[in-house]
């Protein structure tokens, strides 16, 4: 916390920040967070005899996911995942028939569907983007026409079956492009992004020409902690006028860096391109044990790198922290996450069959390197970590600009009103770097005694109980430093902020709201040099 008075005064003559706008009788409803799961492996798992259990009772896997708060599924689509003898490549056998069947099951349960076009017959990622067998000898122009026609045909078939996707992803982990070598993003002698953008536009056109309603379109990269990769790639796509709606990130903390690195990427790209962001692939281990003989992707080294215990509790904590980061993206542009393959709990379904490995041109052992990152134990019993999806649903924050990320450095954070009492100057309050969950925090400090508060008035609240939380630090000579809530239909409730140089969570639980409104805020009465910092303030309705 920078206690030195620097830039006095940033906002000349501005003594209050933007006043909260009354919402009348309209009920306040936070935008629903996407709490998704990639379930592409499910059909093959069931064919192999896998069962799924909740509290010891065998149930439909998708019903278990829904029971625990999942509201979206992601389905990958491979064009022809079979060899010329009809042998499956494995890992879900995600052809169109399988995809439509899974989409029907999901939609029948009220779950939404994200369709992930791979534009290949099997796995694609930044290290491989193989052409479908049927397209191997096509020219660039023929490939472009085929991509458009295939996209349109698939979506028409899904529409005819009553399962048009609620979101469409054009390509998978496109850092290095798609449909190699024609759509590779580097190393092909120039014009790489021109060709890649042409492919993307053709796929997007296939969506636009078939959609029954406006359907969000996602472009997806790996390496969620590497901001430079995302700005390089999306700058090039933006220059070429590619029309898309949101940015998908893969983020595995043991591969892609710290949560702070992810936060920087999400904050940067959501603002730079004015797009919502979604962590469309993520996972974490619930154990370092192994269900089969194939070495796992997640082991003791990854547990250390990831920073969470390899236990169901650690898996749950990781997802809770990830949701906090997503909700910290300024201007509500963090729209959710998808957990990758929570149902793949044993080695009975291999990452590839011999036929699949032959298509990829690799030789390796069969098995499942993901079994300990599923959200079911090795016997198919749902883990307690599945509750993280429900908890994410409960984290719908009713406050605006809760982590002070919207404005950069300012004395008047947007969506917060400011009250200045005795001794408070304009720059007694400022946002500065070093936040708990993002880049910024709000800090109260002055070299003279002062009284000050910041607050939001939330209108249109439905009757019920609510929880207010804030992350705080404080020090120096403080008469009063507290979080409060009032005007909720009962007496004012307060929680003291503890003096500490470490972030401390302050909570007011079970706030009874009967008036349809509440004022929440942070109040500080300090002697000279007394300070308080606050970040990630949340008001959520209890379930």
Based on the fold, state whether residues 261 and 224 are members of the same structural domain. yes
pTM, full prediction: 0.84
> What strands lie across the sheet with 417-420, from one edge to the other?
417-420, 450-459, 517-526, 478-486, 493-496
Q: Residue 277 is encoded by which pair of tokens?
A: 């962001």
DSSP 8-state symbol, 26: P
| Helical (H) or strand (E) element with 203 | helix 192-208
Q: What is the CATH number of the domain that holds 248?
A: 3.20.20.80
Based on the fold, state whether residues 385 and 481 are members of the same structural domain. no
The verdict on residue 404 lying in a domain is: no
Based on the fold, state whether residues 385 and 459 are members of the same structural domain. no
Q: What is the CATH number of the domain that holds 436?
A: 2.60.120.260
Cα–Cα separations (whole angstroms), residue 397 to 183, 252, 483: 41, 25, 16
The verdict on residue 27 lying in a domain is: no
Based on the fold, state whether residues 359 and 459 are members of the same structural domain. no
Based on the fold, state whether residues 425 and 385 are members of the same structural domain. no
Output the DSSP codes for 31-99: PPPEEEEE-TTHHHHHHTT---EETTEE--HHHHHHHTT--EEEEEE-S--B-TT--B--TT---HHHH
Q: What is the pLDDT along the chain (543 residues), one digit of tens a residue?
A: 433 333 333 333 333 333 333 332 224 445 789 999 999 999 999 999 999 999 999 999 999 999 999 999 999 999 999 999 999 999 999 999 999 999 999 999 999 999 999 999 999 999 999 999 999 999 999 999 999 999 999 999 999 999 999 999 999 999 999 999 999 999 999 999 999 999 999 999 999 999 999 999 999 999 999 999 999 999 999 999 999 999 999 999 999 999 989 999 999 999 999 999 999 999 999 999 999 999 999 999 999 999 999 999 999 999 999 998 998 898 889 999 999 999 999 999 999 999 999 999 999 999 999 999 999 999 999 999 999 999 887 767 899 999 999 899 999 999 999 999 999 999 999 999 999 877 899 999 999 999 999 999 999 999 999 999 999 999 999 999 999 999 999 999 999 999 999 999 999 999 999 999 999 999 999 999 999 999 999 999 987
Report the distance separating Cα 441 and Cα 424, nearest Å. Answer: 19
Based on the fold, state whether residues 310 and 423 are members of the same structural domain. no
Is 375 within 8 Å of 315 (Cβ atoms)?
yes
The verdict on residue 19 lying in a domain is: no
Based on the fold, state whether residues 167 and 66 are members of the same structural domain. yes
Based on the fold, state whether residues 502 and 358 are members of the same structural domain. no
Output the DSSP codes for 265-334: HHHHHHHHTT-EEEEEEE---S-S--SSSSPPS--HHHHHHHTS-SSHHHHHHHHHHHHHHHHHSGGG-E
**Final residue of a structural domain among 360, 394, 428:** 394
Report the distance separating Cα 163 and Cα 142, nearest Å. Answer: 29
Based on the fold, state whether residues 136 and 58 are members of the same structural domain. yes
The verdict on residue 412 lying in a domain is: no
**Final residue of a structural domain among 394, 428, 451:** 394
Is 185 within 8 Å of 174 (Cβ atoms)?
yes
Nearest Cα to Cα of residue 294 among 349, 246, 336, 241: 349
Report the distance separating Cα 347 and Cα 196, nearest Å. Answer: 36
Based on the fold, state whether residues 115 and 65 are members of the same structural domain. yes
The verdict on residue 442 lying in a domain is: yes
Based on the fold, state whether residues 340 and 489 are members of the same structural domain. no
Nearest Cα to Cα of residue 524 among 418, 375, 377, 395: 418
Nearest Cα to Cα of residue 259 among 168, 324, 171, 333: 324
Domain containing 121 equals 34-394
Bridge partners, residue 472, by sequence:
504, 534
Burial class of residue 513 in the structure, from the number of CB atoms within 10 Å of its CB (0-12 exposed, 13-18 middle, 19+ buried): buried
Structural domain count, the chain: 2
Nearest Cα to Cα of residue 8 among 531, 417, 412, 426: 426
Is 331 within 8 Å of 400 (Cβ atoms)?
no
Q: Which residues are catalytic?
A: 173, 281
Based on the fold, state whether residues 370 and 422 are members of the same structural domain. no
The verdict on residue 4 lying in a domain is: no
The verdict on residue 334 lying in a domain is: yes
The verdict on residue 517 lying in a domain is: yes
Q: Residue 138 is encoded by which pair of tokens?
A: 């096509």
């Amino acid at each position: 916390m920078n206690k030195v008075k620097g830039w006095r005064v940033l906002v000349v003559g501005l003594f209050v920040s933007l006043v909260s706008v009354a919402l009348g009788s309209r009920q306040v409803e936070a935008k629903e967070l996407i709490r998704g799961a990639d379930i592409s492996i499910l059909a093959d798992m069931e064919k192999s005899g896998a069962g799924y259990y909740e509290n010891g009772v065998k149930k439909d896997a998708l019903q278990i996911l829904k029971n625990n708060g999942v509201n979206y599924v992601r389905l990958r689509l491979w064009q022809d995942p079979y060899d010329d003898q009809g042998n499956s490549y494995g890992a879900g056998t995600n052809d169109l028939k399988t995809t439509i069947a899974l989409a029907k099951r999901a939609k029948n349960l009220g779950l939404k569907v994200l369709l992930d076009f791979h534009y290949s017959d099997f796995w694609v990622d930044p290290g491989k983007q193989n052409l479908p067998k049927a397209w191997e000898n096509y020219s660039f122009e023929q490939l472009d026409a085929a991509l458009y026609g295939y996209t349109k045909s698939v979506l028409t078939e899904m529409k005819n079956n009553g399962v048009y996707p609620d979101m469409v992803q054009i390509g998978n982990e496109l850092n290095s492009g798609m449909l190699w070598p024609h759509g590779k993003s580097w190393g092909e002698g120039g014009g790489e992004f021109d060709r890649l953008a042409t492919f993307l536009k053709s796929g997007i056109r296939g969506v636009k020409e078939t959609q029954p309603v406006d359907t969000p379109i996602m472009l997806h990269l790996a390496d969620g902690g590497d901001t430079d990769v995302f700005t390089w790639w999306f700058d090039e796509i933006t220059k070429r006028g590619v029309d898309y709606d949101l940015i998908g990130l893969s983020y595995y903390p043991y591969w892609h860096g710290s949560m702070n690195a992810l936060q920087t990427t999400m904050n940067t790209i959501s603002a730079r391109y004015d797009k919502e962001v979604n962590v469309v692939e993520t996972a974490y281990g619930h154990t370092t044990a192994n269900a089969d003989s194939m070495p796992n992707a997640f082991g003791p080294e990854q547990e250390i790198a990831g920073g969470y215990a390899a236990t169901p509790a650690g898996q749950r904590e990781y997802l809770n922290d990830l949701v906090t980061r997503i909700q910290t993206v300024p201007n509500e542009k963090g729209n959710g996450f998808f957990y990758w393959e929570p149902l793949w709990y044993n080695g009975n379904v291999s990452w590839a069959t011999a036929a699949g490995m032959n298509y990829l041109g690799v030789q390796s052992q069969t098995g499942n390197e993901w079994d300990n990152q599923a959200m079911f134990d090795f016997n198919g019993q749902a883990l307690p970590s599945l509750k993280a999806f429900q908890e994410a649903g409960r984290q719908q924050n009713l406050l605006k600009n809760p982590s002070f990320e919207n404005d950069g450095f300012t004395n008047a954070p947007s969506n917060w009103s400011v009250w200045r009492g005795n001794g408070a100057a304009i720059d007694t309050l400022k946002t500065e770097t070093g936040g708990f969950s993002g880049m910024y925090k709000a800090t109260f400090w002055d070299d003279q005694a002062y009284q000050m508060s910041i607050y939001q008035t939330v209108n249109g609240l439905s009757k019920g109980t609510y929880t207010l939380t804030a992350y705080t630090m404080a020090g120096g000579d403080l008469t009063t430093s507290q979080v409060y809530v009032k005007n909720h239909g009962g007496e004012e409730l307060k929680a003291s902020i503890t003096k500490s140089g470490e972030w401390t969570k302050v909570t007011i639980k079970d706030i009874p709201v009967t008036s349809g409104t509440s004022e929440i805020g942070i109040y500080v009465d300090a002697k000279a040099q007394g300070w308080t910092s606050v970040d990630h303030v949340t008001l959520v309705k209890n379930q």
